[in-house]
Amino acid sequence: MIIFAYPLAFALLLVPFLIYHLLPPLKGLHGYALRVPFLNDIAQINLLSGSLWGQKNQGKSSKLLYIILYIGWIFLVLAVARPQWVGEPIKTNNYGRDILLVTDISTSMLEPDFTYNNRRIDRLTAVKLAADSFIKQRTSDRIGLILFGTRSYLQSPITFDKQSVLDILWATDAGMAGNSTAIGDAVGLALKTLSSSPTANKDKTIILLTDGENNDGSLSMPEVLKLAKDENIKIYTIGVSGENQILNSFFGIKLPQIKGLDEETLKLLAAETKGNYYRASDTNSLQQIYKEIDRLEPSLDEDQYIQERKDLFYYPLAISVAIVLLLLLIKRRKI
């Protein structure tokens, strides 16, 4: 199907008639002439065994010249109207969300207090297992990855290439970003990454996972809370701490120990951004948390359509130029 990007340009087809009828003739040494300079030169072109405006067939030749020129003008106006070929509509998915995983890889994530298939595994391995399933299920969303410890690194920008995100996550080792935990800097980097994303109309979500507290970095948690509220980006927080860390109380009762985990701040961060806080104490609960987030942030599968467009303006433009060049060539040969 052919359409025109600028259909109003067809009004230019009237310009030659307006010039002819509205502008007064110019009287000079050679009589009356329109105020169109280049027509005087073209008028010298010889056609049909005589000059176009020669003694023989002067009236017919003049009309033929104007018809040829107007045809050239028509093709020029067609080019200005920008004809385009538009293909059949193609159905595509409407990708609705950008999700940024912000994962703690400080040395405390090496604590082997999780169990998987009756084997002891460290916290980071448990996180990888749960995140792997979560990422694979986000078929309609873009995923990004920030890893942090003492420093924060954007390891994978927001992308549809989920396999690359998984490859980076599985290649990560605890301690690669330092020993301490700079939660504030990590969340700040995540907010900056999502806010600068060109897809401003998308739903954007941060999933923060940590087993510690903000004990390093340049951004304090109050500052991060203010930034998060200003950006209007939802944040889900996950606190990781295995239940096998126990203390014998004075009475000999075994109690779970949550060493270094700042649950209050994580709860506040989630609440202020309309997200949720979750506590992961074992592999099963961690996997259930990701499933719960998946339920709360479902992938959007609404359909949209795109159409291929191809510009065709250069065809009428080439014809218009060819007509003018042809007239000039005829003139040269007759001079």
Torsion, CA 179, CA 282, CA 156, CA 166, rounded to 10: 130
- Output the six-digit token pair for 293: 């987030």
Q: What is the pLDDT of residues 195-245, one digit of tens each?
A: 887 655 567 899 999 988 888 888 888 888 888 888 888 899 999 876 544
Mean pLDDT across 109-134 = 89
Q: What is the tens place of the pLDDT at every residue in 25-42?
A: 655 544 444 455 554 554
Q: Is the dihedral of CA 178, 209, 195, 306 positive or negative?
A: positive
Q: 92-118 pLDDT, tens per residue?
A: 555 567 899 999 999 989 988 888 888
Query: Which sequence spans correspond to the domains of the chain?
Result: 2-87+308-334, 92-304
9-27: average pLDDT: 80
pLDDT at 150: 92
Q: The tokens 């690359």 sit on which residue?
A: 164
pTM: 0.58
To the nearest whole number, what is the mean pLDDT of the chain? 79
Q: How confident is the model at residue 179 (pLDDT cuts 50, 70, 90)?
A: confident
Task: Supply the pLDDT for residue 113.
Answer: 84
Identify the CATH number of the domain defined by range 92-304: 3.40.50.410
Mean local confidence (pLDDT), 242-254: 45
Q: Is the per-residue pLDDT at 77 higher than 90?
A: yes
